[in-house]
Structure 1
Amino acid sequence: MAVEESTRRVTKRRVRTRANLLDAAFERFAAKGFGRVSIEEICEAAGYSRGAFYSNFDSLDELFFALYRQRADLIAEQVAGALTLDGPGLDVPAAVDRLTEVLLLDRDWLLVKTDFLVHAAREPAVARTLLEYRARLRQAISDRLAQARGQTPLPAVLGDVDGAAHALVAAYDGVTTQLLLDGDVERARAWLGQLITALLTDGSDTTE
């Protein structure tokens, strides 16, 4: 029992250490840029040694992917919840309202993600991993759209649910790029709503 209790304490401490390192890294990345933050700086901000960092992550790239997975999982959950069927089919206006209300539009995260995207574009191995993570997000959206497709046909121009998922992610990317420049979250939510409505319908049912 004593060994089991000790193991539980170590596990909890490790989880807490990892979470604190992720929080510190996110704050420093957002403030200075991904490429301008060192492991030492993250450790100092979190109050840990380099040993604590390397017991949790092999590199800054691996740490970033842990951050990305957190956000990607959150976005996938938000999309899945928003695209819940309303009765026999998908009520597109209601689903769009739910989605634009909850979807992650955090400017600090967008800054960090954009910095890392530029880094990945110059590092083929990193780019491949990032593409895999983005593919998982699109698959989560595609799976949810597939559940709704039988009751709510998608516009033919999208091809299939995979095409719709690509289009939705592209709309999100475009709107968030504009958000980085003008900082207008409410306008970003309105534009995103208009784009998603147009994508999921024949374009005749748009928001104001």
Structure 2
Amino acid sequence: MAVEGTTGPAAGRETGRVTKRRVRTRARLLDAAFAVFSAKGFGRVSIEEVCEAAGYSRGAFYSNFTTLDELFFALYRQRADLIAEQVARALAVDGADPGVPASVDRVTEALLLDVDWLLVKTDFLVHAARDPDVARTLLEHRERLRRAIAGRLARTAAGPGPMDLPAVLGDADGAAHAVVAAYDGVTVQLLLDKDVERARAWLRQLLTALLTDGGGTSG
């Protein structure tokens, strides 16, 4: 039986078990936080409520996070990485039409449009707007998403059957800013009418227009 201070193979197995348990604990806290934040709103939730929803004590929370802000940033990064991965997968389909309309169709079909997440993100955006330190961190996370999209756009533009970006957008980085702005705009409407299919249709039209100088014929 491994005890604190044990060395050798037993200690390694114990460390592995602790690490896996910590990963599970962190994942459950993130899932619980998402559920509670979406139901009640960020800023209206306590650490105790997150712990209760996850089935853990405050000790479990503080062994993984120091504040609710830190927990939210972990949740935001998880979602931002998912969105970037969805965009990358949609643009990297082997043998798929590399043209803008076809690429936009794949992106809008794959892209995460989750009303509960948008509620959480919007609450936190308002919170960050009143706290420069929190805003700076949130901007850094948003920049990671833009860089991921810009990298994929640059590779697509330079690849076989190149995609020519409109001159008004400048380079791939400018195009990525436009893509994120379009996504942000469409999701505001989605928060109000909860119509996911309509939001996808609007996003498809906006991205096609943005990335083709307003043109972009399909077929």
TM-score category, normalised to shorter length: over 0.9
Pairing 1:158–2:166 present: no
Question: TM-score, length-normalised on structure 2?
Answer: 0.91
Q: Which deviations, in whole Å up to 9, do the C-alpha atoms of 1:146-201 show, x marking residues without a partner?
A: 11223221011111111100000000000000000000000000000001111111
The match for 2:17 is 9
| C-alpha distance in 2 between matches for 1:88 and 1:38 | 47
Larger radius of gyration: 2
**In structure 2, which of residues 165, 183, 188 is the aligned counterpart of residue 172 of structure 1?**
183
Checking the alignment, whether the CA contact within 8 Å between 1:80 and 1:144 is kept in structure 2 is yes
The match for 2:106 is 98
Structure 1 residue 97: deviation in Å? Answer: 1.2
| C-alpha distance in 2 between matches for 1:10 and 1:193 | 46
Ranges in structure 1 where 5+ consecutive residues have no aligned partner? none
Checking the alignment, whether the CA contact within 8 Å between 1:89 and 1:152 is kept in structure 2 is no
Pairing 1:28–2:39 present: no
Instruction: Provide the identity percentage.
Output: 77
Q: Which deviations, in whole Å up to 9, do the C-alpha atoms of 1:122-161 show, x marking residues without a partner?
A: 0100000000000010000111111122322101111111
The match for 1:120 is 128
Question: TM-score, length-normalised on structure 1?
Answer: 0.95
The match for 1:54 is 62
Deviates more, 1:85-94 or 1:139-148: 85-94
Q: Which deviations, in whole Å up to 9, do the C-alpha atoms of 1:19-53 show, x marking residues without a partner?
A: 11111110000000001000011111111111110
Structure 1 residue 83: deviation in Å? Answer: 2.0
**In structure 1, which of residues 122, 132, 141 is the aligned counterpart of residue 149 of structure 2?**
141
Secondary structure in structure 2 of the residue aligned to 1:36: coil
Secondary structure in structure 2 of the residue aligned to 1:130: helix
Deviates more, 1:13-22 or 1:142-151: 142-151
Deviates more, 1:76-85 or 1:21-30: 76-85
**How many residue pairs were aligned?**
207
Structure 1 residue 85: deviation in Å? Answer: 7.1
| C-alpha distance in 1 between matches for 2:217 and 2:89 | 21
Pairing 1:190–2:198 present: no
CA RMSD of aligned residues (A): 1.6
Checking the alignment, whether the CA contact within 8 Å between 1:198 and 1:206 is kept in structure 2 is no
Structure 1 residue 87: deviation in Å? Answer: 5.9
| C-alpha distance in 2 between matches for 1:142 and 1:134 | 12
Pairing 1:43–2:51 present: yes
The letter of the residue matching 1:44 is E
Pairing 1:84–2:95 present: no
Deviates more, 1:95-104 or 1:143-152: 143-152
Structure 1 residue 91: deviation in Å? Answer: 1.6
Secondary structure in structure 1 of the residue aligned to 2:38: helix
